[in-house]
Amino acid sequence: MKAPAFDYTKPASLDEVFGLLAAHGDGARLLAGGQTLLATLNMRLSEPSMLIDLGGIAALQGISVQGDGQGQGQGQGQVLRIGALVTHSEIEASALVAQHAPLLALAAPHIAHRAIRNLGTWGGSIAYADPAAEWPACLAALEGVVVVRGANGERRIAAHDFFIDLYTTALAAGEVVTACELPLRQPADVFVFDELARRHGDYAIVGLALAARRGGGGGGGGGDGMQRVRLAFLGVGSTPLRAVRTEAALEGRALSSAVLDAAMITLAAELNPMPDLTNSAATKRHLACVLTRRALATALSM
């Protein structure tokens, strides 16, 4: 099928974007990498009258460390800022990401295929809020912040409050995702990303972004315990899903096999996965437990 006819414009500033969004209302759509939007147009799932191409707006580009660094400890008070137009491939190749938010570098190769990663953007993925996508789950695990801007100014929204429901976010009409801010990796932090997909590049059946800080459980940084355990699943719920009860069950504990067995019982009870066309809720729950056990073992070996 072919896309319906639409007008196209490529503004050079966010103020122009806000004016266009106000003028065209529901008939307007923001275009970033086009890797989701153009497919929905071609399938006539969406028929906007005006596409507003964000590609000319320099303020949405770039990966940088920002902040005053005045807090206590290394990198406290500073964040890694990822502009909305940064592509999946740029994140994959970024030295700053590898240093400060290595979870993203681990997750990036799981997103689609190279051609799509070269065009698809961070902001497009966050705004689209597909619960099976990698970036929203990483943002949830890292407890990042989404920066949005509209004609009335800027808002910072915690990941937990941004993803509301299936493809539904806290973004208001007339607002644009401009960037996200992620805490900088601390020395004892460990990250694991894994997913189960039918073929490499397919959306995951179930995936897991794990962030934790080694220590506790008698570990003192080198032991067998974890603190600040964050388990964010993709492909399980209507949004990226944090398993907060299981996180609490693991907090500060030495990860003996008895503790892990108990945590898996908690996880199975906590998750109520949405089935998809080929996988039942029970299959997804089982796969989520398998991934979590594996990811915790990997984190402990780091």
Ligand X SMILES: Cc1cc2nc3c(=O)[nH]c(=O)nc-3n(C[C@H](O)[C@H](O)[C@H](O)COP(=O)(O)OP(=O)(O)OC[C@H]3O[C@@H](n4cnc5c(N)ncnc54)[C@H](O)[C@@H]3O)c2cc1C
Closest distance between ligand X and the C-beta of residue 256, in Å? 35
In whole angstroms, the minimum distance from the beta carbon of 100 to ligand X comes to: 21
- C-beta closer to ligand X: residue 85 or 295: 85
- Least Å distance, CB 47 to ligand X, is 13
Nearest CA-CA partner of 142 in 94, 196, 87, 105 = 105
Tell me the three state secondary structure of residue 81: strand
Between 169 and 292, name the residue whose CB sits nearer to ligand X: 169
Tokens found for residue 41:
């147009």
Tokens of 239: 């949004």
- State which residue has the least CB distance to ligand X: 120
For ligand X, the closer of residues 137 and 249 by Cβ is 137
* Distance in angstroms between the alpha carbons of the first and the last residue of the chain: 49
Task: Give least dist CB 283 to ligand X, A.
Answer: 19
- The nearest distance, CB 73 to ligand X, in angstroms, is 32
User: What's the min distance (Å) between Cβ of 104 and ligand X?
Assistant: 12
Structure tokens at 106: 């681990």
If the CB atoms of residues 131 and 183 are measured against ligand X, the closer one turns out to be 131
Burial of residue 173, with CB atoms counted within 10 A of its CB: 0-12 exposed, 13-18 middle, 19 or more buried? exposed
Please give the structure tokens belonging to residue 76: 């406290």
Say which amino acid occupies 219: G
Question: Could you write out the DSSP letters of every residue in 93-137?
Answer: H-HHHHHH-HHHHHHGGGSS-HHHHHH-BHHHHHHHT-TT-HHHH
Q: Which is nearer to ligand X, 121 or 246 (CB)?
A: 121
- In angstroms, the CA 213 to CA 220 distance is 10
Q: 103, exposed or middle or buried, with CB in 10 Å at 0-12, 13-18, 19+?
A: buried
Residues contributing to the site for ligand X (CB under 6 A) = 29-37, 39, 54, 84, 111-112, 116, 120-121, 123-125, 127-128, 133-134, 176-177, 203
Q: Cβ closer to ligand X: 51 or 271?
A: 51
Which CB sits closer to ligand X, 120 or 237? 120
Neighbours of 220 (CB within 10 A): 11
Kindly state the smallest distance separating residue 123's Cβ from ligand X, in Å.
Answer: 3
* Cα dist from 68 to 13, 65, 77, 110, 159, whole Å: 27, 10, 6, 33, 22
Distance of closest approach, residue 210 Cβ to ligand X, in angstroms: 18
Query: Between residues 7 and 261, which has the closer beta carbon with respect to ligand X?
Result: 7
What does the angle CA 79 – CA 144 – CA 124 come to, to the nearest 5 degrees? 105
